[in-house]
A and B are shown apart, each in its own frame.
Chain A
């Protein structure tokens, strides 16, 4: 409001109608900002609450649930860390393997499909892209039986392979679309200079595809941090559990001590939070790329 008044004083010599519309616009903007603040607050509330509770002892929590109280109990994070660390390690191993695999497979296949013409090219791409339409939940049952027959249940490959499969489909489609839109002249120049396809892939395509590689990397981490049913149904060894299933189990181990519990949630969220902040642009690019394909 103060800003609006200041402005009116400043623009006094201006013709009146214009000044009035300006302040009205200013008021609309303030209202919009107020409503947006409310929405953002309600949306973020659970996480602010999580943050606040993570620093509380049990007696602080029971005494005053709503507002932060001193002293802050950093010890909660140490307690939680001991429980969460194995889940984090397992998730990072799975995410790293799936990420490297799907970037490798996706960039090679995307490069070949985007840059070369050969019989069956569209058919093969179609066979890959159509898998975007098959959600994981629909293949849960037959995939479980397959993994059981291969004696892979409750192992790292059991966690990695389904992630790799889903992410590779996504990766091939995104990479192909991206590489197709790279400037043609670069590839022509390379061809004229006698660069082999392998060289063209390694020295031209990969460096240029870096933004989309970032997107694929982010999405493979998001995917590991979101997948619930598969690890829940196939993993029984505690140290193999990934974050989404693991964090349920420390509810049992840290029963009724809410401080360490929420500290654990925070620690478990941290890798994803950091990546999200660092790669926010890639995330939006991925959404838009995915939508472009979806069309």
Chain B
């Protein structure tokens, strides 16, 4: 153990390092618990899932090899691809409105000159984050309730009775009702990232812009957005990953219905495995989702590395 030199103290250590080149068993030993845990409960199941996506998986019994049959079945699975359309709709909103409002909030926050007020509004805006996401969904489900819900109640009071709906029960509105959960979407990662990014832009740049007579909109387009570019790229890929994992809200509030209007990939996988018992097929769907997500994250890392080094 004592033979292990601290990593960065090179000047002192290189010579000693050369002198006794013992295998640092201590370091490996210390990593064994972590690697064992992750090997057995993360790597093993994931690889096992990939392998069994090529079989007719029957947990506890022999699982006959079927080649790519599960993937061929996926190709013809209309509901599976429809679920990606829903996710696509959610994605479009996630990278437009769900960014625009938090960005506006972050910009407005920057116009406040008193730190105390900034802190106050910042806290008030992110406070909903402190609630469990499931409670957020259940609360919104209650808002959408056709009989006692706040939304219909409000519409009735302002005389717009015609607009009252069974928001989560109508195939035309169900997906949008799910998307609008947590409106105005300020309490979330985009807001935190935008406001941190704006805060890190040096004040001198803003002052220079003001002296040059740049208005608010011009400043937003010419200074803020370019300096936030790296964060935007990152958020874009986080949005992809978020959207592909989207599921529990639909599971709780609509169960993928009505009429499959809110089915998303995760719900389809759960349905195939736990309701239909087709584990091999579910493994193939999972594997597809996993590969898409890893590709996206890999791409994000790649682009993030290459991206210009802007404001930290």
Contact (A197, B2) CB under 8 Å given A137-B247, A291-B193: yes
- A246-260 vs B, CB cutoff 8 Å, 1 = contact: the mask equals 011001000000100
A165 and B37: CB pair below 8 A?
A: yes
Which residues of chain A from 153 to 169 have any CB-CB distance to chain B below 8 Å in the complex? 161-162, 164-165, 168-169
Report A-chain residues with C-beta under 8 Å of the C-beta of B81: none
Report B-chain residues with C-beta under 8 Å of the C-beta of A208: none
Confirm or deny: B96 has a beta carbon within 8 angstroms of a beta carbon on chain A: no
- A21-49 vs B, CB cutoff 8 Å, 1 = contact: the mask equals 00001001100110111011011101101
Give A202 Cβ to nearest chain B Cβ, in Å: 13
Q: How many cross-chain pairs have Cβ atoms below 8 Å apart between A and B?
A: 276
From the candidates B59, B131, B282, name the one contacting A149 in the complex (CB within 8 A).
Answer: B59
Report B-chain residues with C-beta under 8 Å of the C-beta of A247: 132, 134-135, 138
B121 and A115: CB pair below 8 A?
A: no
B49 and A142: CB pair below 8 A?
A: yes
Report A-chain residues with C-beta under 8 Å of the C-beta of B139: 46-47, 49-50, 265
A225 to B162, CA, bound (A): 39
A249 to B132, CA, bound (A): 16
Report A-chain residues with C-beta under 8 Å of the C-beta of B269: 137, 140-141
Confirm or deny: A233 has a beta carbon within 8 angstroms of a beta carbon on chain B: yes
Confirm or deny: A206 has a beta carbon within 8 angstroms of a beta carbon on chain B: no
Q: Which residue on chain A has the smallest CB distance to residue B182? A: A43
A258 to B289, CA, bound (A): 39
Confirm or deny: B31 has a beta carbon within 8 angstroms of a beta carbon on chain A: yes
A: contact size bracket: 35 or more
A268 and B31: CB pair below 8 A?
A: no
Confirm or deny: B5 has a beta carbon within 8 angstroms of a beta carbon on chain A: yes
Of B67-75, B164-172, B293-301, the stretch lying at the interface with chain A is B293-301
A141 and B132: CB pair below 8 A?
A: no
Confirm or deny: B62 has a beta carbon within 8 angstroms of a beta carbon on chain A: no
Confirm or deny: A8 has a beta carbon within 8 angstroms of a beta carbon on chain B: no
B135 and A109: CB pair below 8 A?
A: no
B27 and A112: CB pair below 8 A?
A: yes
- B100-116 vs A, CB cutoff 8 Å, 1 = contact: the mask equals 01001100110111000
Confirm or deny: B4 has a beta carbon within 8 angstroms of a beta carbon on chain A: yes
A46 and B136: CB pair below 8 A?
A: yes
Contact (A287, B192) CB under 8 Å given A35-B108, A233-B274: yes
A-B contact pairs, 19 of them (CB 8 A): A29-B111, A29-B113, A44-B127, A65-B150, A106-B34, A115-B7, A116-B27, A134-B290, A142-B45, A142-B283, A145-B49, A165-B37, A168-B38, A226-B132, A229-B251, A247-B135, A251-B138, A273-B130, A294-B304
Interface residues of A (CB under 8 A from B): 25, 28-29, 32-33, 35-37, 39-40, 42-44, 46-47, 49-50, 65-66, 105-106, 108-109, 111-118, 121, 124, 127-128, 131, 133-135, 137-146, 148-149, 161-162, 164-165, 168-169, 172, 180, 184, 187-188, 191, 196-198, 225-226, 228-229, 232-233, 243-245, 247-248, 251, 258, 265, 268-269, 272-273, 276-277, 280, 284, 287-288, 291, 294-295
Interface residues of B (CB under 8 A from A): 1-2, 4-9, 12, 17, 23-24, 26-28, 30-31, 33-35, 37-38, 41-46, 48-49, 52, 57, 59-60, 101, 104-105, 108-109, 111-113, 117, 121, 123-125, 127-136, 138-140, 142-143, 148, 150, 153, 182-184, 186-187, 189, 192-193, 196, 230, 234, 238, 241, 244-245, 247-248, 251-252, 266, 269-270, 273-274, 279, 282-283, 286, 289-290, 293-294, 297-298, 300-301, 304-305
